[in-house]
Amino acid sequence: MIKVIIIGSGNVAQHLINAFQNEEKRENGIELIQVFSRKKESLISLLPLDKITNQFSELLAADLYLIAVSDDAIEEVSNALPFKNRLVAHTSGSAPMTVLNSSNRRAVFYPLQTFTKNKAVDFKTIPICLEAENDADFELISKVGKLISNQATAINSEQRKALHVAAVFVNNFTNHIYQIGNDICNEHQVPFAILKPLIQETAQKILELTPEKAQTGPAKRNDQKTIEAHEQFITDENQLNIYKILTQSIQNNGKKL
């Protein structure tokens, strides 16, 4: 069994706890032996109390320590670990591997997904981006990744940074666009639910077509009359600016500068 310790209690940590515990029944799999949380009570619904510690000095010996905390806390947590030459990985999409203290062997174990507390995810479908300083450590984190996911692959720090930026566009920014659509619907007493079949079809289409081929709408058609009508209709300055920027970006797509 590969002994794993998770350090953290937020969204990513809690989903990893569930994923690892689901694999503990498998022979030669993963054993989640301990989780570090500054507030033990935040995890008692997921773990027995004797598996939770809030003291770095109480951390047990393990094959892999996963730091699942906010990006700005990774370095502090890494520096606080009271041991040397053990395999420590963070789960961040944007932080470089070198943010980890060099007194331990460093790696990255980044699950590329959006996580929300109390919303279950199927870890088997989640890509896990892996990076390590040596082949032996990569082999270990790769084995751990493949036990909980069907997609565990080598991604270096620069590639991971690019993936994280791309993920912000396709996830965080897209969700904000949904929020704008919801606000417009609410303002005009239209139920946002009417748009959900369109949202589902758009997401489904991108699984079969490239984004460029899937693009539709007045900007793609260069339908200036409709664009102008929309711009006159939108009264919120922020919404109007976003509309204009995205329209221009669609129209510029594929054009050489």
* Mean pLDDT of the region 50-68: 96
Rg, the chain, Cα only: 22
pLDDT tens sequence across 157-201: 899 999 999 999 999 999 999 999 999 999 999 999 999 999 999
Q: Which residues contact 96 (CB under 8 A, 6 or more apart)?
A: 157, 161
129-140 CB burial, b ≥16 within 10 A, e <16: bbbbeeeebeeb
Collapsing DSSP to helix, strand or coil, 31 comes out as: strand
Domains parsed from the chain with CATH numbers: 2-155 (3.40.50.720), 160-252 (1.10.1040.20)
pLDDT of residue 120: 80
Alpha carbon separation from 155 to 110, 128, 151 (Å, rounded) = 9, 9, 12
The β-bridge relationship of strands 52-53 and 151-154 is: unpaired
Least confident span in 108-122, 202-216, 219-233: 108-122
pLDDT tens sequence across 109-146: 999 988 877 788 888 999 999 999 999 999 999 999 99
Q: Output the average pLDDT for the chain.
A: 92
Alpha carbon separation from 140 to 121, 124, 146, 152 (Å, rounded) = 24, 18, 10, 12
DSSP per position, 45-107: TTS-GGGEES-GGGPPP-SEEEE-S-GGGHHHHHHH---SS-EEEE--SSS-GGGS-TTSEEE
Confidence of residue 255 (pLDDT cuts 50, 70, 90): low
Least confident span in 17-31, 47-61, 83-97, 133-147: 17-31
Confidence of residue 23 (pLDDT cuts 50, 70, 90): confident
CB 104 within 8 A of CB 88: yes
